[in-house]
A and B are shown apart, each in its own frame.
Chain A
Amino acid sequence: GQQVMQIPQYQHVQEGEDFTTYCNSSTTLSNIQWYKQRPGGHPVFLIQLVKSGEVKKQKRLTFQFGEAKKNSSLHITATQTTDVGTYFCAGGTIYNQGGKLIFGQGTELSVKP
């Protein structure tokens, strides 16, 4: 079935280091969304990318959507302890493939001060 694979599963960084998580889909996506879940919390929407090759920035966070609309990445520059949490990508499947939002397994980020 349709899958969205996300790597790495865990990432431990020193505060100030950069962090990147990657998502890959087995099929072309209509859009990719990113969510952040703080420890003990619930997923919170960060951003949505729709266009092929799209790049969006939110302060220290940079989101990219691949040219083929099958992969995406989230890059955090100079991590801070407030960045701790699990980052999920969610790929939107095309309507004739079910029209669902499929979540990756998430990347758990820990930041050592």
Chain B
Amino acid sequence: KAGVTQTPRYLIKTRGQQVTLSCSPISGHRSVSWYQQTPGQGLQFLFEYFSETQRNKGNFPGRFSGRQFSNSRSEMNVSTLELGDSALYLCASSSGLRAESNEKLFFGSGTQLSVL
């Protein structure tokens, strides 16, 4: 069974640009969550999608958005990039059959975003 796949693995952008990250969950999983990881800050929850609907949202500005497709694949978009957006963006999938807070997460390898 294939794991969670994130593309691209690395990305370099400049301030003001926008970026789209992609995540394919484990086959059969319907919930996809996105996290931002920076050194010393742990994993900050961005949002969770289930059945193409945003089910939960963290405390990030509106520049961060996402969506989920009918095949459960998800994309995350960051517009008007700032230097502080440089981070590892992790996607995690779960079956979605229970509340997100009660299910174990399977993480992808992440996309390392550098904003110059």
Interface size grouping (class) on chain B: 20 to 34
Contacts of B48 in A (CB 8 A): 100
Contacts of B110 in A (CB 8 A): 42
Docked Cα-Cα span, A35 to B91, in Å, equals 15
Please tell me if A85 contacts chain B, counting CB pairs below 8 Å.
no
Contacts of A16 in B (CB 8 A): none
Docked Cα-Cα span, A44 to B109, in Å, equals 10
Q: A42-B109, A100-B56 are in contact. Are A31 and B101 (CB under 8 A)?
A: yes
**Interface residues in A2-53 (C-beta closer than 8 Å to B):** 6, 9, 30-31, 33, 35, 41-45, 48
Contacts of A95 in B (CB 8 A): 99, 101
Docked Cα-Cα span, A79 to B109, in Å, equals 26
Docked Cα-Cα span, A99 to B101, in Å, equals 5
Decide: A99 and B56 in contact? CB cutoff 8 A.
yes
Residue of B nearest to A47 (CB): B104
Docked Cα-Cα span, A43 to B40, in Å, equals 15
| A-B CB contact pairs (8 Å), 18 listed | A1-B59, A30-B101, A31-B101, A33-B104, A41-B109, A43-B90, A48-B104, A88-B43, A90-B43, A93-B101, A94-B101, A99-B101, A100-B48, A101-B45, A101-B101, A103-B42, A103-B44, A106-B43
